[in-house]
Structure 1
Amino acid sequence: MRDTNQCFMPKPKAAFEQTNVLFVVLEHFSLMSFTCAVDCLVTSNLVEGTKRFVFSTIGLKPDNVLSDIGIHITPDYILSDIKTLRDNDILIVCGGYRTNLMEHARLSKLISQGCKRNAILGGIWNGAVALCQAGVLEKKPYALHPDNHAYAKERFPSCILSSDSYVDSNNIVTSSGASSTLDMMLALVEKITSQANSNAVREILSCDRGMPVNSKPQLHTCLPDSAPAIVKEANLLMVSNLDEPLHVEDIARCLKISRRKLERLFKSHIQTSPSKYYLELRLTYARQLLLQSEDSISAIAASTGFSSTTHFSRCFKEFFSVSPSMMREKMSIC
């Protein structure tokens, strides 16, 4: 579960090139889609412990821009301020349900120049229309809000309109709405940072996806959707018994399989053993209690099934590279 806990792990010092993400906000842009995209970038910085992503907003005119829900934002720049895009810049056009689809010559020119310099380009909701108008989606797949499909099919027959909710096509990323914007941005974060960082951001921002209505919050785990039912059942047994951990043999017996088969399934699907996964679940739960409650360290150790505070502290430090008391002290300073 290192991806889940990455935000709390020591950060290796590594050189990186800062990426400027420019959001062109069109009138009536989807505020939900925009904030989802920004949240993904900010959370990536938090997880990685860097300022790799810096974002700013661009308006077409020197006025406040009205979002789809009636909230105005004041752009950081106007389009005429941006003369060209650098190689490591990202330009994302943010549209919305009522956005006017008329072409803006200056925007088309900027997009075309960016494409020639291999800058990453993006479109949210119907922002991909601007990319089509600039000619950068010729014979390339792209995603678009369903309400704009008829318009796009008629106007841009040589661009490949996809039925997918988001499309990642080399240096061009597009999404059809608010929910798919998160998937698009996670793919972008993975491309620029790492899969581990993207996984950690996903764990934080999409923890409630797929949960039944009115379901009780649970310890969020990192099992892939492709994990077999038997592994998911083992996970539920572990989550339900954090304070009094079961032996792996007992878990296998409850599931009516051998310990050896259970270990093979865990190794194959989540690249670890059941016992190690179980320990990391308990340590993750302990970390949550440590930082979100005022419970004593001895009480947290007992709540997560450790026989002594000394044993708990040793396991915690081995996993997080910092003692429980030191982590609590550092986070209280922040």
Structure 2
Amino acid sequence: MREVKEKRHFNTLLRDANSAFLPSQDSGEKTIRVGFILLEHFSMMAFTAAVDALVTANLVRTAPLFSFCTFGLNSVTVKSDLALDISTSGELSQLPLEGEEALDILIVCGGYRCSLAEQPPLTAKLKTAARHNIILGGLWNGAIALAHAGLLDQLGCALHPDNHAFARERFKQVKVSDRVLVVEEKRVTSAGPSSALEMMLALIEQVQDKATVRAIREILSCDQVADSDEARLILPADDPSFPETLRNLLRLMSSNIEEPLSVDELASFVGVSRRRIERLFQTHMETTPSRYYLELRITHARRLLLQSDDTIVNIAVACGFLSSTHFSHCFKDYFGISPSQARQKQRG
């Protein structure tokens, strides 16, 4: 195998898995500031799901994309639905809506036992935020606060089912949806904890890009439960959009990292021609079988390098490289630094 001289780039599938370790492509854009207003008895699960999406977005990019802060209505501590007192960044009166520290996104976090009564100071703040063109959202029944402020009139709105009857009776101008999340241009709402994550991913795609969302899903969606209720890890070879032959090829490659199979050997195992394999990879993954196999092995090597204390020589052998020198060249071509530099950076 010849040494790789030119700079390499990962194909879409494996680029998402490696995005946090690739050379920085910082565009110079400012970090998006997200504020959460925590109502008394807010859903901790919905809140943490939303925050998890933001934190993971920062993990999968070399430059921070988001920062977040929290606010109570009239206290710096708020009791969650788990009866835990949560410290916030400040009170509602301290909400930054103007200047350099102004929020870009503001989300009201509700919960099953949250009061649905209007809070005039909150209504005033939300109206001010809307005038400053801030994106507004609601988790669980947090959208009720937006409705009180008249900020959902003629718009769709997702709420916990327990609040549908109240909202439809009280807010005639709001289109209460049976969907678990609704994303409008400047309004985003979700009905519960699971949809809170999906709402944030939709929002991140809106203010960032699809590639960032794919990279977040690479981390957060690996343990989703299948329709059969059988809990199993989600791997690229499980993608239902791929033909069965391609899924079998991906499984074969994943099972043969240390001693890579040739394309002809892969063809023999799955019972199709070499040309058919090349067409499958080009059509569904926009790459060649050999290129994907190399990226799969270099990704496996990156994980071993940063998660174990094994020697670089042993890692190179375990990932099917002919020598540590060849491995180092390939690694640097993809990640911009040598294996030893990557390990040192991770630890220091």
Fold conserved (TM > 0.5)?
yes
Alpha carbons of 1:263 and 1:111: their partners in 2 closer, same or farther (altered >3 Å)?
Answer: farther
* One-letter amino acid matched to 1:205: L
Alpha carbons of 1:162 and 1:235: their partners in 2 closer, same or farther (altered >3 Å)?
Answer: farther
Instruction: Specify the alignment match of 2:130 in structure 1.
Output: 115
Q: What is the rounded CA distance, in whole Å, between the counterparts of 1:268 and 1:148 in structure 2?
A: 46
Q: Is the 8 A contact 2:107 2:139 kept in 1?
A: yes
Instruction: Choose 304-313 or 258-267, whichever is displaced more.
Output: 258-267
Aligned pair partner of 1:253 in 261, 268, 274: 268
User: 1:85: how far off?
Assistant: 5.5
Matched, 1:72 2:85: yes
Matched, 1:43 2:56: yes
Instruction: Specify the alignment match of 1:291 in structure 2.
Output: 306
Deviation string 1:32-77 (CA, Å, 9 cap, x unpaired) is: 2212222221222232233332211111112521111111112212
Deviation string 1:3-60 (CA, Å, 9 cap, x unpaired) is: 2101111112421123221100011111122122222212222322333322111111
Structure 1 gap ranges (5+): none
Q: TM-score, normalised by structure 2?
A: 0.87
Aligned pair partner of 1:230 in 227, 236, 245: 245
User: What percentage of residue pairs aligned between the two structures are identical?
Assistant: 47
Matched, 1:22 2:30: no
User: 1:119: how far off?
Assistant: 1.1
Q: Is the 8 A contact 1:112 1:136 kept in 2?
A: yes
Matches within 5 A, 1:128-207: 128-207=143-222
Q: What is the rounded CA distance, in whole Å, between the counterparts of 2:167 and 2:249 in structure 1?
A: 48
Deviation string 1:148-174 (CA, Å, 9 cap, x unpaired) is: 222222222332222322222111111
Q: Is the 8 A contact 2:224 2:231 kept in 1?
A: no
Aligned length: 331
Alpha carbons of 1:130 and 1:262: their partners in 2 closer, same or farther (altered >3 Å)?
Answer: farther
Instruction: Choose 182-191 or 282-291, whichever is displaced more.
Output: 182-191
Q: What is the rounded CA distance, in whole Å, between the counterparts of 1:319 and 1:147 in structure 2?
A: 51
* Structure with greater contact order relative to length (CA < 8 Å, sep ≥ 6): 2
User: 1:222: how far off?
Assistant: 8.8
Deviation string 1:69-116 (CA, Å, 9 cap, x unpaired) is: 111112212112237467762100001111111111221222223223
Alpha carbons of 1:72 and 1:294: their partners in 2 closer, same or farther (altered >3 Å)?
Answer: same
Aligned pair partner of 1:57 in 61, 70, 79: 70
Q: What is the rounded CA distance, in whole Å, between the counterparts of 1:261 and 1:156 in structure 2?
A: 58
Instruction: Specify the alignment match of 1:95 in structure 2.
Output: 110
Alpha carbons of 1:230 and 1:131: their partners in 2 closer, same or farther (altered >3 Å)?
Answer: farther
Matches within 5 A, 1:292-331: 292-331=307-346
Structure 2 gap ranges (5+): 1-13
The alignment partner of 1:48 has SS state of coil
* One-letter amino acid matched to 1:44: A
Q: TM-score, normalised by structure 1?
A: 0.91
Q: In angstroms, what is the RMSD of aligned CA positions? A: 2.3
Q: What is the rounded CA distance, in whole Å, between the counterparts of 1:167 and 1:273 in structure 2?
A: 39
User: 1:278: how far off?
Assistant: 1.7
Alpha carbons of 1:259 and 1:332: their partners in 2 closer, same or farther (altered >3 Å)?
Answer: same
Q: What is the rounded CA distance, in whole Å, between the counterparts of 2:319 and 2:342 in structure 1?
A: 17
Q: Is the 8 A contact 1:85 1:113 kept in 2?
A: no
